[in-house]
Amino acid sequence: MIKYLVIGDPVSHSRSPKMQNAAFEKCGLGSPYGIRHVKPEELPQFVEYARKNFRGVNLTVPHKQMVCDLVDEMTPRAANCKSVNTLLITDGYILGDSTDGVGLEQALRYNFDLPVNGKRFLFAGAGGAARATAIHFACSGAESIVFANRTESKAVEIIRDIEALNTTCRCSFAAPQEREAMAAAIKNCDCIIQATSLGLKDDDPPPFDLELLKENTDLVIFDTIYKNTKLLQRARELNIPCSGGKEMLIQQGAESFRLWTGMEPDLDAMREGFELPPGGVEV
Ligand code: NAP
């Protein structure tokens, strides 16, 4: 019986069903996690259907912002970033949570043993993923965040939201094509988070001029994309510790699993599930 699912538009590429079912199976709970294609205009109707029929939902692009107006309550961390990727449904009452930020935080610990607290970040991108994770970082003691995004206004909006939260995190903007500003931003950060969609297609340009990267033993690079992007290839050439987005997906999913079940998921089983072909039982 499917009681949990991921929705998105598109969604058939999602690795969440295999990953989550691997964790459910390890806990002796069967394979209760499915998949459903939901278009933006169908979201309100789907949420009402989910209220009566499911216990947990993960949401991916493009639903994370719109669903905020459809839930009964948001956790503080979801309210802070105005993004919801997880629904917990209890007796028809819907709690919205955001696990992307903590997922990336835990991925940085797992991949690089890097804490967020006290560190300086450069985020390439200011879309939904950058918003959810950067705001979580600002609330978790990050020292500074520079946003490099094609559209300046989107970065400014995130910076304003962070400022309104009265954290100690210093935020600023750097135009990705401005070499001097980008060189300074790279030099003065501990970690680059690549959170644009550039790199999903093989012929995409990199998010900034990769010649600006220098051999630097103190820098680490995390690309939220699961592929071997040009950024990751260049980082390896320069011996800069780097990682693709797999562990972020595992860790945000693990946090959803904890919320739904109150149990600790088997992360290695989830990592094995991630490697299986994407997709799952359609509901
Ligand atoms: P989104 O809200 O659509 O944002 C897309 C971002 O990419 C924006 O910053 C956008 O810049 C930039 N961008 C897109 N096309 C561009 C181009 N041609 N030139 C320059 N910049 C461009 O998407 P999202 O949800 O934030 O997702 C962003 C990435 O994060 C995706 O690659 C996704 O795979 C990844 N992600 C990974 C995980 C994980 O668990 N590993 C989770 C969530 C997302 P503008 O603002 O200028 O449009």
Rounded distance from Cα 231 to ligand 1 centre (Å): 15
Tell me the average pLDDT across 213-223: 90
Asked whether residue 217 carries a pLDDT value surpassing 80, the answer given is no
Closest-lying ligand 1 atom to the alpha carbon of residue 176: 20
Q: What pLDDT does residue 99 have?
A: 98
Closest-lying ligand 1 atom to the alpha carbon of residue 154: 46
Rounded distance from Cα 25 to ligand 1 centre (Å): 32
Cα–Cα distances in angstroms (integers) from residue 271 to residues 57, 91, 266, in the given order: 20, 31, 9
Q: Starting from the edge strand earliest in sequence, which strands make up the sheet with 120-124, in order?
A: 170-173, 144-148, 120-124, 191-194, 220-223, 242-243
Q: Which domains does the chain have, with CATH numbers?
A: 4-98+247-275 (3.40.50.10860), 101-244 (3.40.50.720)
Q: How confident is the model at residue 25 (pLDDT cuts 50, 70, 90)?
A: very high
Asked if 56 contacts 16 with a C-beta cutoff of 8 angstroms, the reply is no
- For the segment 179-190, what is each residue's pLDDT rounded down to a tens digit? 999 999 999 999
User: Which amino acid, residue 176?
Assistant: P
Catalytic residue list: 64
Taking alpha carbons only, the member of 105, 74, 103 closest to residue 87 is 74
Residue with tokens 């051999």: 215
Tell me the average pLDDT across 60-89: 97
- For the segment 93-128, what is each residue's pLDDT rounded down to a tens digit? 999 999 999 999 999 999 999 999 999 999 999 999
Rounded distance from Cα 52 to ligand 1 centre (Å): 33
Distance CA 118, CA 169 (A): 9
Pocket of ligand 1 (CB under 6 A): 61, 100, 125-130, 149-151, 154, 195-198, 200, 224-225, 245, 248-249, 252
